[in-house]
Structure 1
Amino acid sequence: MRPEQGQVLHFSEDPTIERFAPHVAPTSARKEAYVWAVGHDRCPDYWFPRACPRAMAWVGPRTTQEDRIRIIGAGCGERVHAIEYGWLEALRKVELYAYRLAAADFEPIGDPPNAMVSTVPVTPLGPPERVGDLFELHEEAGIQLRVLPSLWPFWDEVIESTLEFSGIRLRNARR
């Protein structure tokens, strides 16, 4: 599930949203009110239940071959996502929806940009689309999906490597 040209996506478990209003996310370090969305490259970060902690790593321009093999694995693609066993059933059962939004209403945020934001209310371009099988999406995108007892040992290796990475909802991961 990716946006078409001129679009960004917002993923949600709620299929009834008719309009997105800017708000301050409770977990955000930013004080500005935004509507959040993602472009093509960051969509896979959200192919999960909302509260699911996930650690993600991918090959970037400065990634060494040693780190790629050590963390992602030889011949295992260029990206890996990891979740904990406790979230496996939720990943199987979640009904996730994608809202298509006009990219013209958004601007990149982060350095490098990791999301798109709007400071004005945004109306979806159409009804939400059911995302479907999240395992299948990962497979079709060539993204390795790992299930671990705890994310922390993996995360500690990733953040010390030359891979690019993102961690979402890590506060929900097991200690």
Structure 2
Amino acid sequence: MEDDYKNEKGPPPPYPIPMIPTHRPPPSGIRIPLQINSTFPDLTYTKAPPSYDADGVSPVFIGSAILERSVHPCKIAPHLPIPCRVPYGNTELEHKGRYDLLPFDPETMEWVRTSLGRIPHDREPVAGGYEENGEKLYHAMGRVGGAWVPGKTGEHLGGCNVAFGNGEHIITKGYEIL
């Protein structure tokens, strides 16, 4: 059976193909599991990047990094040697373990402006992870140095935390939550 697949369609991709839902996606979205040595999926699977790095051309995607006792929303920048970057502990943590890419789907997702860790009224934020103590984390995006950078937010954070330029930046006003 595998040989038939190869003959007709080429080799299977080196990562799981996300199923196309016939119903509403789960609150955490449909994700693509990756690791530091994974072949980065093409735009057919990742969809268009929601942002670009400070150079204006290098795509940056939304993700969740799986840490030892928590899961943190992060940015995924495939042009960097270690693509998964997490705002964590006042630094830009280069994550070398498993992480999941969340393709941004404008038909089922939207960016909503907010401030101070607030969840916008009548909106359901996309789950991005959780702290060690169980507090919820959501995907967010804040502006640093002219670039929109994916990161994390939560009511307990009071803002949006993003990893950029080897540091963790905290944006309290005018960021967006997914």
TM-score for both structures, normalised by structure 2 = 0.22
Structure with more strand by fraction: 2
Q: Which has the higher helix share?
A: 1
The structure whose RCO (Cα within 8 Å, separation 6+) is larger is 1
TM-score under structure 1 length normalisation? 0.22
